[in-house]
Amino acid sequence: MNDHRSDKPLRPAVFLDRDGTIIEDRGDLARPSQVAFFADTFPALKRLNRFFDLFIVTNQSGVSTGAMTMEDVKCVNAHVVSELALFDIRIRETYVCPHKPNDGCSCVKPKPYFLRKAETDHGIDLKRSFAIGDHPHDVAFAENAGAKGIYVLSGHGEKHQEELSGDVVVVGGIREAADRILGPAGRKGPNP
């Protein structure tokens, strides 16, 4: 924790996977025109953003394989963030791992590197935070830093569901994930 933030209350956050969770998973995206949002993403994130800081955390190994450049990924991410901003949804930071899973980097999910970075850089309370994603490593990512994981069946979620181990919260998509975090309709705040 940075000293200059230690006097501020810690904030809870939701860490969003990108492909298959808030936009369709169409493989390696190199251009903004390839982005296709799920319709549920806008209302779901709008509701979550009332109570939580929002981050995007995405593994983009296609940078390492040469399928696209880091500049391509940044351009696509900037488009995603700006489309969400049109609905007053604020993404505090977008974190990208450009490495292959077996590269031995420190930042690939399920390693909790970017959760720790958000904790340090943005004063996030990981114990009150969630990570949502369509791959088992998105759930493990949360659990590896004491946050709660929510698995969505959108994107590649159905395909990988049998790889889940342990007691995992599984929901249909981003709308149901927001419902799970915020509680039944009409509740004023997040589930305890």
Residue 116 makes contact with Zn ion by CB under 5 A? no
| 15 binds Mg ion per the rule CB under 5 A | no
Q: Which of 52, 114 has the CB closer to Zn ion?
A: 114
If one counts every other C-beta atom within 10 angstroms of the C-beta of residue 16, the result is 27
d(CA 169, CA 14): 15
Alpha-carbon distance of 147 to 140, in angstroms, equals: 9
Task: Let me know if 40 is a catalytic residue.
Answer: no
Nearest to 78 by CA among 91, 60, 59: 91
User: For residues 128 and 52, what is the distance between their CA atoms, to the nearest angstrom?
Assistant: 10
Size of the site for Mg ion (CB under 5 A): 4
- 107 touches Zn ion (CB under 5 A): yes
Of these partners, Zn ion, Mg ion, none, which one is at the site of residue 20 (CB under 5 to 8 Å by kind)? Mg ion
Which amino acid appears at position 130 of this protein?
A: F
Q: Is the dihedral of CA 115, 20, 65, 32 positive or negative?
A: negative
Residue 105 near Zn ion by CB under 5 A: yes
Q: Which of 16, 17, 44, 140 binds Mg ion (CB under 5 A)?
A: 17
| Contact stretch for Zn ion (CB under 5 A) within 16-24, 95-103, 125-133, 184-192 | 95-103
> Can you give the binding site for Zn ion, defined by CB under 5 A?
97, 99, 105, 107-108
Q: Annotated active-site positions, please?
A: 17, 19
